[in-house]
Amino acid sequence: QHDIVVVGAGWIGAEFATAAREAGCAVTVVEAAARPLAGALPAEVAAPMADWYADAGAGLRTDARVERVEPGAVVLGDGTRLPAGAVVVGIGARPATAWLAGSGIELGPHGEVVADAGLRTSAPDVYAVGDCASFPSGRYGERLLVHHWDNALQGPRTVAANIVGTATGEPSAVYDPVPYFWSEQFGRFVQYAGHHASADTLLWRGDPSGPAWSVCWLRERRLVALLAVGRPRDLAQGRRLIEAGTPMDAGLLTDPSRPLKSATA
How do the pLDDT tens digits run along the chain, 265 residues long?
799 999 999 999 999 999 999 999 999 999 999 999 998 999 999 999 999 999 999 999 999 999 999 999 999 999 999 999 999 999 988 899 999 999 999 999 999 999 999 999 999 999 999 999 999 999 999 999 999 999 999 999 999 999 999 888 888 999 999 999 999 999 999 999 999 999 999 999 999 999 999 999 999 999 999 999 999 999 999 999 999 999 999 999 999 999 999 999 8
Its CATH class, for the domain covering 3-89, is alpha beta
Predicted local distance difference test score (pLDDT) of residue 104: 93
Predicted local distance difference test score (pLDDT) of residue 100: 96
Predicted local distance difference test score (pLDDT) of residue 167: 82
Beta 188-194 vs 180-185: how paired, if at all? Answer: antiparallel
Contact 159, 133 (CB under 8 A): no
Predicted local distance difference test score (pLDDT) of residue 171: 83
CATH 3.50.50.60 occupies which residues in the chain?
Answer: 3-89, 98-168
Beta strands across the sheet bearing 3-7? 59-61, 26-30, 3-7, 86-89
Predicted local distance difference test score (pLDDT) of residue 168: 86
CA distance 61 to 54: 11
Its CATH class, for the domain covering 180-262, is alpha beta
CA distance 137 to 112: 16
Predicted local distance difference test score (pLDDT) of residue 179: 97
* CATH code for residues 98-168: 3.50.50.60
pTM here is: 0.93
Q: What are phi and psi of 36, to 5 degrees?
A: -65, 155
CA distance 37 to 12: 10
